[in-house]
Chains A and B, each alone.
Chain A
Amino acid sequence: MKKTWKIIGRHLFLALLVFIWLIPIFWLVVTTFSTQKGINTNHFFPEHWTLSNYNWLFFHPDAAGNFPAWFKNSMIIGTASCIISTCFVIMTAYAFSFIDFKGRKQLMSFSLILGMFPGVLSMIAMYFILKMLGLTDSVVGLIILYSGASGLGYLILKGFFDTIPTSLHEAAKLEGASEATIFTKIVVPLSKPMIVYTVINSFLNPWMDFVLVRLMIKSKDPQDWTMALGLFNLLQRALVNQYFTYFCCGGLMIAVPISALFIIMQKFYVEGVTGGAVKG
């Protein structure tokens, strides 16, 4: 009997934790149904309920809010940059893991150091480089920005590659396979979970970043913005009291697919995160 109580207690405790974790999200959800468009700091639940905010979100873009366009832009940027990033990461990791070329160690140390600079500062220079290339305000520019330096994130995947037995590599070489063949036919198929991990991470980047994109997109037409930029803009002093529910609806609407993605991909993600670390 004591055991049963223990099990019940355990589940109650978990439920309590989940409750704490979900309170802000619950607030987000109920706020989306509020008729009061500003922030309500004094009540948890809205005084009057409505669905009109969603109608507004999906079908009535205006001078400050254009959710459908933001969704489209972020989707394009996310997809493109996650394809490029994934390629870059796999390529870099393979080169550093399987090929013993001259200067490999120096290059790796160098790349490690590069990752430590505070990115906030180099934004101005990035902006002018994009401007020099004529790519500010364009989707292409943002894709380059989000995926360009992705090669630096090779460490985890390299760790994973290091666990692939060298004998496999060697045997393939003996049979006359070129490095390129080994790369595409053997190693890439072996590292699926890692690839899923990289894909999720690089896909999320443009959905989450609002600092970089704010500087890079000069257009003041909401149609050209990304999701993060658009939503963040709604919190400006002059807007927040008109658009807070819109903000919440938007936040919730992108949370749903991303949360679903995480829940479905959980297994791969877990393998991905740890794949690099778990050796042997």
Chain B
Amino acid sequence: MKKKLVSALLVSTMAVSAFVGCGAAADDTAATETADATEEQAEASTEDAIANLIAATEGTVNIDLWCSETEEYQTVMKKLCDDFAAQYPDVDFNITLGAVSEADMKDRVLEDVEAAADVFIFPDDQLEALVKAGALNEVAAQYTYDMNETDTPATVEAAQYDGKQYGYPFTASNGYFLYYDKNQLSDEDVASWEALTAKAEELGKEVGCETANGWYLYGFFKGAGCSLTENEDQSNNCDWNNETGLAAAESLQSIASSKAYKSYGNDDLLANLNDGKVVAYVSGTWNVNAFSEAYGDGYAATKLPTFKVNGEDKQMASYSGYKFVGVNAYAENTGWSMLLAEYLTNATSQEAVYEATGEGPSNTEALAKASSPALDALAAQSEFAELQRVGGNYWSPAESLGKNILDGKVSQQVLDDAVAGITQPVE
């Protein structure tokens, strides 16, 4: 465990940004003074800060922690919280665990930030909305480890917004890849969508990807060479209505027109998987148990297939997904909440979470010990995976575009309308 306070540079930038970040007229002299002061103390051990905190703590420390409602999560988190409390025997902790669906975390937190949990675990796509609502506490300093040294750079960067660190990297396996049954499909079959659908038709089975969902749909367009980026004002830039975009949409349309190609939501996917109909599907680690049970010894996973655009094979891209631990900006005990967040994301905790849930750690040390077909597939896909940075106006039009592709209604007009919706200005 790293005992040194984070480098002077980091501290001083944080101190400055703590002022600037809030849109206040940053008092230059004050900021410089703070920076000077911290520089002198930069070598002081973190124990001082924690000792200060322990000394200043009176009575019981109440911390609410919201995380996924699955049994595995609740159990492992309970244990980690107990371990955390045991680390500081002088302090009386009351850590309460709450079960909140990760997909809804942002909605639940934003209903009333002041009443929400002090520490919560959320997927990376919610970072922006949470920061925009001012719900996340900035990670101004770290006390027990330095994420820049312990975690993969991509995950650390993903938890930043506008150059500031808002989340503690927790898992790095929230992206998607292809599960398949290797007893029925060969390596060549899963290499491209064209081969995959052809083979599935032959077998009379199903394969697919939830196309009517912007999160997955992005992979096709990005893979074909189109771009989707976000501006500073949270509006989007999107060129999917150019020639490449049209070609990609038409290609996807012809893939999807195969009888074997399905666009299931998660419920339908699992039901049909259990019935033995689905032999390959684009999904993520959250379904790892379902797929490994359904395929038995045929269980396998790999990077996403390629698909043909203008006669050329293009690798389907994807969003890389992460989960972060966030501290509520309105937390009652900011200091303790930050320490708990750090504890939950350190190497040993991430290992414990990996063992409990099968999710890939963001910590390099823990990641080295983790290995499974799903994580290997994610690693293989990672070079084609992009960090998700997209404005809120993307999702509804993209969902609708996906639905149009599935229905075989692709046209320049549809793409133009979709792009108009995706890029509509934000007031």
Contact = CB atoms under 8 A, between A and B. Distances in A.
A238 B98 contact: no
Nearest to A218: B115
A40 B271 contact: yes
A142 B269 CA distance: 38
Interface string A53-72: 00000000011100000000
A244 B310 CA distance: 45
B99 A222 contact: yes
The binding surface of chain A is classed by DSSP as loop
Contact of B69 (A39, A42, A239): A239
B70 A242 contact: yes
Nearest to A43: B275
A207 interface: no
B217 to A, nearest CB: 19
A62 B72 CA distance: 12
Given A131-B112, A221-B96, A222-B99, A239 B70 contact: yes
B71 A63 contact: yes
Contacts of A241: 266-267, 270, 290
B82 to A, nearest CB: 15
B144 interface: no
A122 interface: no
Interface string A103-145: 0000000000000000000000001000100001000000000
A254 interface: no
A242 B290 CA distance: 11
B92 interface: no
B99 A42 contact: no
B353 to A, nearest CB: 15
B102 interface: yes
Contacts of B66: 220
A238 B112 contact: no
B268 interface: yes
Given A41-B267, A221-B98, A236 B115 contact: no
A36 interface: yes
B171 to A, nearest CB: 14
Interface string B93-109: 00011111111100000
Chain B interface category by residue count: 20 to 34
Contacts of A62: 71
Interface string A216-227: 001111100000
B346 to A, nearest CB: 24
A63 B104 CA distance: 17
A237 B284 CA distance: 14
A220 B98 contact: yes
Given A127-B112, A238-B69, A38 B101 contact: no
A240 interface: yes
B231 interface: no
B66 to A, nearest CB: 6
B58 interface: no
A240 B69 contact: no
A215 interface: yes
Contacts of B99: 63-64, 220, 222
B213 interface: no
A39 B267 contact: yes
Most A CB atoms within 10 A — which of B74, B99, B116, B117? Answer: B99
A152 B149 CA distance: 63
B152 to A, nearest CB: 25
A41, A127, A220, A239 — most chain B CB neighbours (10 Å): A220
B68 interface: yes
Contact of B68 (A36, A39, A215, A238): A238
Contacts of B115: 131, 136, 218
Interface in B272-318: 272, 274-275, 286, 290
A232 to B, nearest CB: 11
A5 B74 CA distance: 63
Contacts of A131: 112, 115
Nearest to B271: A41
Given A215-B111, A221-B98, A236-B104, A42 B70 contact: no
A38 B274 contact: yes
Contacts of B69: 63-64, 233, 236, 238-239
A222 B71 CA distance: 13
A102 to B, nearest CB: 42
A39 B74 CA distance: 23
Contacts of A42: 271-272, 275
A18 B115 CA distance: 48
Interface of B: 64, 66, 68-71, 74, 96-104, 111-112, 115-117, 266-268, 270-272, 274-275, 286, 290
7 contacts: A41-B268, A131-B112, A220-B99, A221-B96, A237-B266, A238-B69, A239-B69
